[in-house]
Amino acid sequence: MQEGIEEFLKACSKKFCPECGAPIVDTRASPGRRRTFCSEKCRWAFDKRKKRKELKKMKEDFKNEDTRVTSDSRTGSEASSL
């Protein structure tokens, strides 16, 4: 029973790759920044997906801003936001 608990605690203390879910084995002997991804491939894939998501949001925001109508305080008429 004790061995099962120890294994569970070891597994919980491990860090997992946010891209693929694999456990991250930190092989560095010196202190410093800890690894976040299991490989460069996962880091690149995560970054690429994140940038695509941000670009998509920016495009949607621009599209919404482009169709928004605001009033012109100087003339009192409605004008496009462009």
For 37, other C-beta atoms within 10 Å of its C-beta total: 20
Q: What residue spans define the domains of the chain?
A: 38-68
pLDDT digit string (tens) for 58-67? Answer: 988 888 876 6
Residue in this structure with the two tokens 């490989």, named with its chain if needed: 39
pLDDT digit string (tens) for 39-50? Answer: 999 999 999 999
Distant-in-sequence contacts of 41-45, Cβ < 8 A, 24+ apart: 42/17, 43/19, 45/19
The residue count for the chain: 82
Average the pLDDT over 62-78 and give the result: 63
Mean pLDDT of the chain: 78
pLDDT digit string (tens) for 4-23? Answer: 777 776 666 678 899 999 98
Average the pLDDT over 24-28 and give the result: 76
pLDDT tops 80 at residue 30: no
